[in-house]
Chain A
Amino acid sequence: MTSLAAPTRPTSWQQTTSLAAGVVLGLALLVTGLLAGRADVAVLGAPALLSAAWGWSVRPRDEPVVVTFEPAPVTGLLPGELRSRLRLDVPDGAAPVRLRVTSPGNEDADVTVLVDRTRTLDLTTHSARTGPHRMFRVDHITSGPEGVVESIPDAAQSPGTLVLPTAQPLASLPLPRQLAGLTGPHTTRRLGDGTELRDVHPFAPGDRLRRIDWRATARRSPGLETLYVRRTQATAEATIVLVLDSRDEVGPDVTTWRGRGPLPMDRPTSLDIARHAAASVAQTALDGGDRVGFEDLGWVRRPLPPAAGKRQLERIVHALALAHPMGEPRRRMRPPQIPASALVYMFSTFLDDESALIAQTWRATGHPVVAVDILPTVDVPQDDPGVVLAWRITRLEREQRLEAIRREGVLVVPWTPSENGRGGARAALELAARQQRHNQRGTTR
């Protein structure tokens, strides 16, 4: 198994105050006992002296203590658990090693373990977060026998880990009004190669001979004056563009929104919800044979162009996991370009006007837009009137913003989990897909 992290520097040993204190106590009791002529007092110093003598005589000498991280098996992990494996190599013989394992958002673990030359330990932390993680920092110190020497305290940092979002299965998704291409999973109203029968029509130049329906021809034209062909509806694919608003990342606690205090690790932030939601939409669309692209509003860079297949899902999931706020976001002069006839899924908290304006612009140019609200359930401390008032104003502005884009024809879906298979984002998207099919019955795609 290869080590992911460079081993820490070798540690050397240093005397502890316990050695000096033990020797001084022993000598003090010996001298006191001899001066007072009391053997019992003198003998009481013996445990401290013998302990110090033993520890000093068998102390480890200048061998290094090496701490490295190894990849841990991911089997048997519960949801939200992250694991890493720590390897400890200590000098000759067995020695106790004290470890303080720190993981962001988790309580520290302080354990002292016996390491007989080499030992591996599994470290587990809990996190509801996705994206880049620095999982563990391990401060370690090794003690010699009787604690007379200790290694110089040192620390090791686990290698970075990218926690990918996980897709949840969705039933069906709204589709763009116009489907593109000549093949795909969706049936269009156009004539072409497909499986659904459109009509039976007299043979015309350009029709293939294998499409002649001999039964219909025999029925309608017994003298074979006219040949009849079965015409089918063409198939096509949908183009979906996922737009992630990674300009901000807010947690459930509004007091952390100004950057005060770390975001909790045990509850997902808005960006974590967006990653899971976008991965779910991407997987559902790609599994259905559609083309999916990805655009990040927080980073002006080359977007992922729409494509199909499992590799595209991997690219999108990695891009989602790596998306994060980077300083003060630059204001875009114009919205990102979206392929013609593409359906846009925008994942945003809608805490400012920019994402709503971009969604309205796309809607105005004819793109169907689904706005996925990724703001987590917010905890407001009721004992702070200032925070309560600020949240009230922010909430009202946000509701007005969402209402405005609703009026423009944007479908707004809050990304909430379903309870007992009911409600939630999955049901909302399925309902929107059904309504869309119902409304567009008879129209041409």
Chain B
Amino acid sequence: MTARSAAPPTRQAGPPATEVSTGPTVSGDTLRAVMIGATAAFGVLSVHQLLPSLLGSVAVALALAAVVAVLPRTPVPQLVLFVGAAALLGAEPSFAPVVFVLLPLAHVVLRSSWWAARVPRTGRVERAVLLPELRRAAVIQLACQGLALLGLAASTLDGSGFFVVLATAALVGLVVLAVPRTWWR
């Protein structure tokens, strides 16, 4: 046990709160705002492929965003993304170009909901924590956009057999890469 001398506070020491010395931080509210915004944008863009009414799309998107805001834990964001992606099935062209925008939005929804589920509203996250996250996200998005280009080529170009084979191989390779080995051992 150490001993230290403490002078009595001359006045009430303000609102008592524990302080931690950190670098620049982002609040939990900011992370939630990003999550809600990304979910709403994803919902509007995807549902609008199914519903011609923009107002209806916005209403559904806001409902999805509200669900994620209330329950940001697994598997709610994943289910919301699946519902949004399923709405793309109603799109007229065989490959909706809006996917190029939906890909980064889906990634932001997944990662921001992960953070929102762990960081309380009053919590803080150092910006230095989010920087490696953004770098990884950029690399992943590069690969995703390449896959989307392959898919676009396979779906729309004439004589696209080569692209179909290439896209299928890429997707199978992705599955083999992603599924942990322990799952089938």
- Is A423 part of the binding interface, using a Cβ–Cβ cutoff of 8 Å? no
- Specify which chain A residues have a CB less than 8 angstroms from the CB of B123 in the assembled complex: 110-112
In contact, B107 and A40 (Cβ under 8 angstroms): no
- Specify which chain B residues have a CB less than 8 angstroms from the CB of A98 in the assembled complex: 118-119
CA distance A36 to B102 in the complex (A): 19
Given contacts A21-B78, A145-B136, whether A50 and B174 have CB atoms under 8 Å apart is: yes
- Is A433 part of the binding interface, using a Cβ–Cβ cutoff of 8 Å? no
In contact, A101 and B18 (Cβ under 8 angstroms): yes
Q: Which applies to chain A's interface (DSSP): helix, strand, loop or mixed?
A: mixed
Binds B, one of A24-32, A193-201, A218-226, A302-310: A24-32
Given contacts A50-B144, A51-B140, A161-B1, whether A109 and B20 have CB atoms under 8 Å apart is: yes
Seed contacts A39-B150, A166-B8, A265-B16; 10 additional CB < 8 Å A-B pairs: A25-B82, A27-B179, A28-B82, A44-B102, A50-B144, A53-B178, A114-B128, A123-B21, A128-B9, A160-B2
Chain B contact residues, CB within 8 Å of chain A? 1-10, 12-23, 25, 28, 74-75, 78, 81-82, 85-86, 88-89, 91, 94-96, 99, 102-104, 106-107, 110-111, 114, 118-120, 122-126, 128-129, 132, 136, 140-141, 143-144, 147-148, 150-152, 154-155, 167, 171, 174-175, 177-180, 183
6 closest Cβ contacts across the A-B interface?
Answer: A39-B151, A80-B9, A110-B123, A53-B178, A49-B178, A47-B107
What are 29 A-B contacts with C-beta separation under 8 Å?
A17-B75, A19-B180, A20-B74, A22-B178, A30-B175, A34-B171, A38-B88, A39-B150, A39-B151, A41-B88, A41-B89, A46-B103, A46-B147, A47-B141, A53-B174, A53-B178, A74-B4, A82-B6, A96-B125, A96-B129, A106-B18, A112-B118, A113-B20, A126-B17, A127-B13, A159-B1, A161-B2, A161-B3, A161-B4
Chain A contact residues, CB within 8 Å of chain B? 4, 16-30, 32, 34, 36-54, 56, 71, 74, 78-82, 94, 96, 98-99, 101-103, 105-114, 121-128, 130, 132, 136, 143, 145-147, 159-166, 265-268, 272, 276, 318, 321
